[in-house]
């Protein structure tokens, strides 16, 4: 059984507006402050979506590069850029995210209904993302929104080989209306399916909205890692909005310690994920 917990913070996302959620970090400065504080609490990886000057989601390459540089300058966190972006982002812009040369990038393993929208991830696009990351030494985090996405990953790795770094890491994104339910049963079904992936494959889980806590507890008790943050969770407890990303990371660290699986450091995360130090 895994003895430590990889904690990823996803502080911003592309779905919430700054007007509705003033605590959302949207500028590079806000992101850096959040990153430093979350690292001090026990986060090892940061999953990054950026915003433009009007706080709207963007995949602007110059700003992505500046964000990667600022995070590297101020923290030791593993920097993972979202290649998912917002549901409206074109494939070419999503592929160009890799030009910002992050340590990691997300790679969603299939199309999913995303609330009232569709998060489109065509097979050819997934292959492009995977092979370009292999070429550039960028380590993917495979995002799993539905059980069949794990079958797609098995097919991808069978046809195109292991990712950069040689280690396979997946994240179950649960509780999205249209995808996996955020339940322990669904998490266990995904974990069973991970056994068909290369030996040593690790998984994290994220419960969106009210599924945050059940998914976190189920992940910790089945050897999984955690992703938390305001991308996925805006309510801390019934009737109580989240104050900050730090509040969510602190809670995850507390749960991980209770499970006797304390947070791993960024250096340990790099070793686990196959990212050069
Ligand atoms: N914003 C969602 C449409 C990812 O970052 O790769 C996609 C998402 C997944 O957040
Ligand atoms: Zn994301």
**Does the beta carbon of 5 sit less than 6 angstroms from any atom of ligand 1?**
no
Q: Where are the domains of the chain?
A: 7-272
- CB burial of residue 116 (10 Å; 0-12, 13-18, 19+): exposed
How far apart are the CA of 231 and the centre of ligand 2, in A? 7
pTM across the whole model: 0.98
How far apart are the CA of 118 and the centre of ligand 2, in A? 15
DSSP H helical ranges for 2-51: 28-41
**Does the beta carbon of 66 sit less than 6 angstroms from any atom of ligand 1?**
no
Q: What is the CATH number of domain 7-272?
A: 3.20.20.70
Query: Which residue puts its alpha carbon closest to atom 8 of ligand 1?
Result: 84
**Is the complex ipTM higher than 0.95?**
yes
How far apart are the CA of 257 and the centre of ligand 2, in A? 26
Sign of CA dihedral 35, 139, 274, 6: positive
Sorted by sequence, the CB contacts under 8 Å of residue 88 that are 6+ apart come out as none
Over the stretch 59-112, which tens digit does the pLDDT of each residue have?
A: 999 999 999 999 999 999 999 999 999 999 999 999 999 999 999 999 999 999
Q: Which of 176, 185, 255 is nearest to 220 (CA)?
A: 255
**Does the beta carbon of 46 sit less than 6 angstroms from any atom of ligand 1?**
no
Over the stretch 200-250, which tens digit does the pLDDT of each residue have?
A: 999 999 999 999 999 999 999 999 999 999 999 999 999 999 999 999 999
């Amino acid at each position: 059984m895994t003895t430590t917990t990889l904690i990823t913070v996803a502080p911003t996302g592309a779905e919430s507006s700054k007007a509705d959620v003033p605590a959302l970090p949207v500028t590079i400065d806000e992101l850096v402050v959040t990153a430093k504080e979350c690292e001090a609490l026990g986060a090892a990886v940061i999953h990054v979506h950026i915003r433009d000057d009007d706080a709207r989601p963007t995949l602007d390459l110059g700003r992505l590069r500046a964000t990667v540089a600022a995070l590297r300058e101020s923290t030791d966190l593993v920097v993972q850029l979202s290649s998912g972006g917002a549901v409206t982002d074109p494939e070419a812009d999503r592929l160009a995210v890799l030009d910002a040369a992050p340590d990691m990038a997300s790679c969603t393993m299939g199309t999913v209904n995303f609330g009232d929208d569709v998060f489109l991830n065509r097979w050819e696009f997934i292959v492009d993302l995977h092979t370009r990351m292999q070429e550039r030494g960028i380590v993917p985090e495979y995002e799993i929104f539905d059980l069949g996405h794990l079958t797609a990953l098995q097919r991808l790795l069978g046809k195109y080989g292991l990712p950069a770094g040689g280690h396979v890491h997946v994240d179950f994104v649960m509780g999205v209306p249209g995808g996996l339910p955020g339940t322990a049963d669904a998490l266990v079904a995904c974990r069973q399916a991970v056994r068909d992936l290369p030996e040593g494959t690790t998984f994290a889980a994220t419960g969106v909205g009210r599924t945050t806590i059940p998914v976190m507890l189920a992940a910790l008790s089945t050897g999984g890692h955690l992703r938390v943050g305001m991308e996925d969770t805006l309510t801390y407890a019934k009737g109580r909005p989240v104050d900050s990303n730090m509040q969510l990371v602190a809670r995850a660290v507390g749960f991980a310690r209770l499970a006797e699986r304390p947070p791993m450091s960024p250096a340990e995360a790099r070793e686990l994920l196959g990212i050069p130090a």
